[in-house]
Amino acid sequence: MGAVAFFDQTLRWIPVSIDLPWFVKGVVMPNGTFRITGRVTNAETQQGLSGVRVEAWDKDLICNDCVGSATTDEQGGFQIDFQESDFRNLFGDRRPDLFFKVFRDHSLIKSTEDSVLWNVATAVTEVVIPIAADSTSMFRKIVDLSARSRIIREEPFYLHFWEATPEGLLAFLKNPRAELEKMGINLPDDCRIETKIENHDWLSERTKGFTAADGTIICNTGTGNVAKNYYNVSLYAHDQNTVGVFEKALLHSPDEEERRLETLE
C-alpha cells in the first residue's frame, strides 16, 4: 500500500504511516510510471481549493524539470502521472527528488521547493498541500481610487476596483456585505447594494457554472455610499489573454491629477 503524507505550515514533509523510511513509499505503476494523487487545501479551513494548477517538479543540480501538472477538481483533488524518462538525467538512473508549485491563474501561491521529497523510490499515492489563508484570498488587486486621486477623495462617494475568483463571486452574491467587509469596504446597515454582471452568460460557461477559474479574471468596480445611500457593483469577466492588449487613450498623463482645460480644444 502507499503512504499518505502532507506538507505542514513550515513546509516540512510529514509521512503519516509510522513504518515509513525517510523517503515516501508508494505504488509502482506499470512501465515505470509514477503517480501522484493529492489535495490542495485552505490551511485554515481544511477545505479543498478548486481550479488551481499543481505542478510536480524534479529538483536537479543543474536545472529543475517539470514532470507533470494538473488542475484541482471541486474538492481540491489532483492526479499527476509521469515516467522514469521524465526525471533521468546525464548522471544516469536515479530516484526523483520532488517538490510542488501551486498556481491560481498565473500567480504562484505556494512552492514546496524548500521541502523536497528526496530520493523518492516509488510513486507517492497521496499528498496534501495546505495553502496559507492569505494566499487563497478570493479577492485581489484591491484599489481605492480615492487614495489615488485627491479629486475623487473630496467627492461624496467611493470608487473602488478589485478582481475576484469565481469562488469569490459566488460568496459575494450570497452575502455581499460580508465579502465587502473582508476587503475593508464597510457600508452602513441602511445602504443597499446593487450588483450588475455585464457578461453573465460568458462567465458562467467559461467557469463551468462558477466551479473553475480556468484563467478567468473577474473585474469589479464599486461606487456609491457616503452621500448616496446605495453601493453599486458592476463586474465584467475576461481571460488572461486580453490583459494589456488594448490601447487606451488617456485623458491625461499618469502623473497629472486631472486633464488641463487648455487641452480641451
Range of the domain at 158: 139-253
Q: How many domains does the chain have?
A: 2
Instruction: Kindly state the average pLDDT of the residues 229-239.
Output: 94
- Shortest CA distance to 139 belongs to which of 198, 80, 184? 184
**Is the per-residue pLDDT at 87 higher than 90?**
no
Model pLDDT, residue 243:
83
Model pLDDT, residue 127:
87
Domain end, chosen from 135, 161, 183, is at 135
Model pLDDT, residue 26:
44
20: which 3 cell numbers?
515509513
Instruction: Kindly state the average pLDDT of the residues 186-209.
Output: 92
Highest-confidence segment of 32-46, 61-75, 189-203, 246-260: 189-203
User: Is 20 inside any structural domain?
Assistant: yes
pLDDT digit string, tens, across residues 116-166: 888 776 655 578 999 876 665 678 889 999 999 999 999 999 999 999 988
**Is the per-residue pLDDT at 181 higher than 80?**
yes
125 plus 144 within the same structural domain:
no
**Mean model confidence pLDDT for the chain:** 81
120 plus 192 within the same structural domain:
no
DSSP state letters, the chain: ---EEEE-TT--EEE-STT--SSPP--PPGGGEEEEEEEEEETTT-PBPTT-EEEEEE--SS--EEEEEEE--TTSEEEEEEEGGGT-BTTBS----EEEEEEETTEEEEE-TTS-BTT--S---EEEEEE-GGGS-SEEEEEEHHHH-HHHHHSSSEEEEEEE-HHHHHHHHH-HHHHHHHTT----TT-EEEEEETTHHHHHHHTTTTT--TTEEEEEEEEE-TTSSEEEEEEEEEEGGGTTTS----SS-TT-SS--GGG--
CATH number at residue 9: 2.60.40.10
Model pLDDT, residue 89:
56
222 plus 152 within the same structural domain:
yes
User: Is 247 inside any structural domain?
Assistant: yes
User: Is 263 inside any structural domain?
Assistant: no
- Please state whether the predicted TM-score (pTM) of the whole model is above 0.85: no
* Other Cβ atoms within 10 Å of 255 Cβ, number: 5
118 plus 180 within the same structural domain:
no
Model pLDDT, residue 94:
66
Model pLDDT, residue 240:
78
123 plus 14 within the same structural domain:
yes
- Please state, for a pLDDT cut of 70, what percent of the chain lies above it: 78
**Is the per-residue pLDDT at 92 higher than 80?**
no
* Burial annotation 19-56 (CB, 10 A radius, 16+ → b, else e): eeeebbbbeeeeeeebbbbbbbbbbeeeebbbbbbbbb
87 plus 129 within the same structural domain:
yes
Sign of dihedral through CA atoms 7, 12, 16, 19?
positive
Pairing between β-strand 77-83 and β-strand 230-239 as defined by DSSP bridges: unpaired
How many Å apart are CA 51 and CA 136, to the nearest integer?
A: 12
pLDDT digit string, tens, across residues 1-13: 444 455 554 444 4
Between residues 3 and 75, which one has the greater pLDDT?
Answer: 75
Model pLDDT, residue 116:
87
User: Is 265 inside any structural domain?
Assistant: no
**Is the per-residue pLDDT at 30 higher than 70?**
no
Model pLDDT, residue 142:
92
Q: Which of 14-28, 35-49, 57-71, 243-257 has the lowest mean pLDDT?
A: 14-28
